[in-house]
Amino acid sequence: MPEFSAPQSFTIAEDASAVDSVFAHAAAAPTLVVYKRKIDGRWTDVTAAEFAAQVTAVAKGLIAIGVQQGDRVALMSATRYEWPLVDFAIWAAGGVTVPIYETSSAEQVRWILEDSAAIDLVVENEAHAATVKAVAAEATALRGVYRIEASESDRGVVEELTERGADVPDSEVRARVAALKSSDPATLIYTSGTTGRPKGCQLTHANLIAESKGILDSSLGTLLKTPGVSTLMFLPMAHVLARAVSIASFDAGAALGHTSDIPNLVPTFGEFRPDFILSVPRVFEKVYNSARAKAHGEGKGKIFDAAAETAIAWSEAQDNGGPGLVLKVKHTLFDKLVFSKLRAALGGRCQLAISGGAPLGARLGHFFRGIGITIYEGYGLTETSAAFAVNTIGEQKVGSVGKPLAGNSVRIADDGEILLSGPVVFGGYWRNESATADAIENGWFHTGDLGSVDADGYITITGRKKEIIVTAGGKNVSPAQLEDHLRAHPLISQAIVVGDQQPFIGALITIDADALPAWNERNGKPAGTTVADLLADADLTAEIDEAVAEANKLVSHAEAIKKFRVLPVDFTEETGELTPTMKLKRNVVHDSFADDIAALYAK
């Protein structure tokens, strides 16, 4: 079995915890700006001393309402300043944070509250409170529900807990923190679940510390530790990736801002001007597709497309001896015409980006590196405390997900499955011994992902074991590569490859609603024309057919998409086809669009 191990460059003390850095920063550098908080339209600095005082005050409130060492406290909120504040406070009180996506349905919240036996729940606003009202009343262990946002009748949770804990001495918080062990559970994260009920993934303080230290001991840590560096978090904090990188950034002394206003992300980048960003591939795809659509809509499509090809070629040349003179001249020209404007859209100061949560296509990776914003793609799961491997500055292979972080080992099983071990790997699922036994065997976590590792330790992901399609002819097909390539097309929102036990491979494709108006205008369609109006349109069919043909170049004839069907609606989290991190729930799509799949194979 191919295997690669990265030497461990750090140790974790038995009495260490993920909240230690809050008080370490306050003691060593009280004026260090650790957060930037938007108040009345302005980004306001929060110093290490101020943050530690707030964490202590909220932790005292949690102690006052009865939170004991090891108690679970659930947190349901969009990405905002109070998220890490409450998270750190739960740890400082000795508790365990149970994140819940703010988009969760009442039934999803019910399951998490019941399974985790959370004793308290913090929600963001009145809408969330209304969503959880019935299920909270039925959760036997739950004692109280608190809101981050104040209402006419109730104070916000920070103010309320600060007041309730006013008589609790600070020494009680210090005692709770001192009692924490690195082996204690820190968080219980319910996997978003593309199939079945979510499982509670239990991560310890040691897991989170190992993740942070692994990131900071890599060359990415050099940037994160640079004085004055900042980042803007906009991914859901309930997702392990945003949480882990936030912790690492905080530990490094970087300043963090938060926003959940995704439609206005570009203007917010302009205000905040982050030095680096963390995102998922879909956001990078949208940035590229929106820029391309805008250029084509303004009659500058040929310039943009030529610039994109130049950026990709320039990046590819970095791995093959460097660009020649002609390519250098073209790159310099397009940097002035196109690339500088794209960098400005990300705030003008962004030096790099980190991508995870789903595969990033090599072409997209080369494009962004070519315009001057290198995307360092990583790989991990909730069960590995987020990033297990990541490309880093000076150690990058575009198309791979990088090398294991310090202390971690990867092994490729005989069937191609990726197996992982190391300090970031969890110890098991909450109250689910059978699932734990299935996932961890002889100290190795079975990821369910397929891939390879080269002699230098770079891991490449090729697909998921459970997603492998076996055609009627016995051909094994991994859909990921085809789907990723199709989603990179400016007009395509989502794609799902089908064909299990069928004579050929097919695909269902959805159209990006944001890109459609510009496409309609370029193709002479009436304003307001919908996808449903275009299902039999020759121009739309021809464009999607061309995208499918390009994707098919990546695979053999037997694996190629032979027929596709454009759907009148998109896949969304609200309608159940996507997880909160934009991953396809294949079983839901197969059930909801069974007739469309059947139509592909109708004779």
DSSP 3-state assignment of 16? coil
- Clarify whether residues 345 and 428 are in a common domain: yes
Q: Is residue 192 part of a domain?
A: no
CA separation for the pair 257, 44 (Å, rounded): 10
Domain boundary among 459, 487, 510: 459
- Clarify whether residues 82 and 10 are in a common domain: no
Q: What is the pLDDT of residue 345?
A: 87
- Clarify whether residues 91 and 167 are in a common domain: yes
Residue the block writes with tokens 């998109």: 570
- Clarify whether residues 443 and 482 are in a common domain: no
Alpha helix segments (H runs only) across 217-361: 220-224, 240-252, 265-272, 281-297, 301-318, 325-334, 340-345
CA separation for the pair 348, 351 (Å, rounded): 9
Question: Residues in the chain, how many?
Answer: 603
Total domains, the chain: 3
CA separation for the pair 16, 21 (Å, rounded): 10
CA separation for the pair 64, 462 (Å, rounded): 51
The secondary structure of residue 451, as a DSSP letter, is E
CA separation for the pair 104, 270 (Å, rounded): 30
- Clarify whether residues 308 and 370 are in a common domain: yes
pLDDT digits (tens, 9 = 90+) for 542-563: 999 999 999 999 888 889 999 9
Among residues 387, 415, 410, the alpha carbon closest in space to that of 4 is found at 410
- Clarify whether residues 433 and 526 are in a common domain: no
- Clarify whether residues 236 and 140 are in a common domain: no
382-to-157, 201, 220, 547, 556 alpha-carbon distances in Å: 28, 7, 21, 33, 33
- Side-chain half-sphere exposure of 465, counting CA atoms within 13 A: 13
Q: Is residue 377 part of a domain?
A: yes
Kind and range of the H or E element at 97? strand 96-100
Kindly provide the residue ranges of all beta strands, DSSP E only, lying in 356-499, ordered along the sequence.
374-381, 386-390, 403-404, 409-412, 417-421, 428-429, 440-441, 444-453, 459-464, 469-470, 476-477, 492-498
Q: Is residue 43 part of a domain?
A: yes
Sites in the chain below the pLDDT cut of 70 = 192-196
- Clarify whether residues 572 and 517 are in a common domain: yes
Furthest C-alpha separation in the chain: 76
Among residues 430, 356, 394, the alpha carbon closest in space to that of 202 is found at 430
Domain boundary among 394, 424, 459: 459
Kindly provide the residue ranges of all beta strands, DSSP E only, lying in 132-268, ordered along the sequence.
144-147, 185-190, 200-204, 230-233, 255-258
Q: Is residue 492 part of a domain?
A: yes
- Side-chain half-sphere exposure of 58, counting CA atoms within 13 A: 25
CA separation for the pair 516, 454 (Å, rounded): 41
- Clarify whether residues 212 and 325 are in a common domain: yes
Domain boundary among 431, 459, 487: 459
In this structure, what token pair is assigned to residue 75? 């947190």
Burial class of residue 22, CB neighbours in 10 A (0-12, 13-18, 19+): buried
**DSSP sequence for 550-593:** HHHTTS-GGGSEEEEEE-SS---TTTTSB-TTS-B-HHHHHHHT
Q: What is the pLDDT of residue 193?
A: 55
Q: What is the pLDDT of residue 76?
A: 98
Q: Is residue 416 part of a domain?
A: yes
- Clarify whether residues 454 and 594 are in a common domain: no
- Clarify whether residues 514 and 561 are in a common domain: yes
CA separation for the pair 594, 35 (Å, rounded): 48
CATH of residue 101: 3.40.50.12780
Domain containing 539 equals 468-600
Burial class of residue 153, CB neighbours in 10 A (0-12, 13-18, 19+): exposed
Q: Is residue 25 part of a domain?
A: no
- Clarify whether residues 3 and 101 are in a common domain: no
Q: Is residue 292 part of a domain?
A: yes
